[in-house]
Amino acid sequence: MSFPYTLTRVGVVMTPEPGNAQEAEGVLNPGSGRGPDGELYLLPRMVATGNVSRVGLARVIVEDGVPASVERQGIVLEPDRGWERGVDNAGVEDPRVTWIAELGLHVMTYVAYGPLGPRSALATSPDLREWTRLGPVLFEYDDALDMDLNLFHNKDTVFFPEAVVGPDGVRSFAVLHRPMWDLGEIRPGQGVRVPAGIDDERQSIWISFVHTDDVAKDIRSLTYWRGHRMLAAPEYPFEAVKIGGGPAPRRVPEGWLMLHHGVTGVIRNAMEQQQNVNYAAGGMILDGDEPWRVLARTETPLLAAETDDERSGIVPNVIFPTAIEEIGAETYVFYGMADSKIGAARLDRSDSRASQRSHFRSTDRK
């Protein structure tokens, strides 16, 4: 199967507000969702001086059917819990938000930047405004992997919007995540460790599962993940260093559409000390019934850093897709631009890969 989707830029949707100390180091990598009022909202990562991140809420303003700007509506999550704060670091970062209709809740996965570094954590909300933390994620031990995934930093987590029958035959909510195998970040000298049967030490996309019956009994079971397996490793040149998941996977005629980012360049370590890196957006089609099987993927980026807003910022040369929403008859992907701003691109279905490369039709639409 070929990958039949393209992305076309439509413009910048959100830029840091002048004089707003909570956005001094950028607005980026948003979650998204529809509120009870039917309005579309972004939940941007807002970075204050000192690299302290909060999650905000902003209503999307649409002009001529296209997301054009936002109206800020405050902060919904701050790093005010002990496990979200270290001695000299703190943050609730890179939210992904999935509406799970079966639960009647928006489920936010985010990075808690706490005492031992980045951990995946969860919160839920009925309305995008009031969030209940469920706590950090816990990984069930799997003897076949001969490794405790709780030892590792983990990022880029996001739930599927619908339950599936997992590999164990049990109806489950599926979730994507990206373990980071360098234990030397936590305890110097331990080096890189990978589970049994894994030969590629690069950071890759994994999939785990939560039994729906457990969640029906206790919503906090959403934080207990099992059945871990690697979904996809870096394969093509634009993914040479690592890959990570993007927005919540989306049902399409071919199965599940999963957007991701691929990274090239030089990274000194996975604690975000980077130089000469390039993040680009790619995509995969996962099997509709068995989403742990990849049916197709992009060999080249759907979107690579080309505009000034994507090439120049806190971290240059970054396109980081994190949200996907319908506006009218169109579908739009929201993405971080150079860790500084938020852009949007239209998602189209096309059998022609020649249309994948495109350019801004307008400049900053803020």
Q: In what order do the strands lie in the sheet with 5-14?
A: 5-14, 341-349, 330-337, 319-327
Residue 14 pLDDT greater than 50, yes or no: yes
**Is the model's pLDDT at 358 over the cut of 50?**
no
Greater confidence (360 vs 96) lies with 96
Q: Per-residue confidence at 271, pLDDT binned at 50, 70, 90?
A: low
The structural domains of the chain, with segments of one domain joined by +, span: 5-356
> Mapping DSSP to helix (H, G, I), strand (E, B) and coil, where does residue 311 land?
helix
171 has a pLDDT exceeding 70: yes
Average pLDDT over every residue of 325-348: 97
Which position has the token pair 């001969």? Answer: 146
pLDDT at 100 over 80: yes
Q: What does the alpha-carbon distance between residue 265 and residue 255 come to, in Å, rounded to a whole number?
A: 32
Residue range 159-186: average pLDDT? 96
Check pLDDT > 70 for residue 270: no
Full-model pTM: 0.93
* Structure tokens belonging to residue 100: 């799970």
Q: With a cut of 60, say whether residue 360 has pLDDT above it.
A: no
φ, ψ at 185 (rounded to 5°) = -70, -30
Domain covering 5-356, topology:
Tachylectin-2; Chain A (2.115.10)
Confidence of residue 268 (pLDDT cuts 50, 70, 90): low
173: nearest Cα among 144, 134, 132: 134
pLDDT bracket for residue 273 (50, 70, 90): low
Please state, in angstroms and as integers, the Cα–Cα distance from residue 268 to each residue in 51, 97, 241, 281, following that order: 18, 30, 11, 22
- The answer, yes or no, to whether residue 174 has pLDDT greater than 60, is yes
The 10s digit of each residue's pLDDT in 274-307 is: 568 999 999 999 999 999 999 999 999 999 999 9
Q: What's the chain's average pLDDT?
A: 93
Please report, to the nearest 10 degrees, the dihedral formed by the alpha carbons of residues 335, 338, 340, 341 taken in order: -40
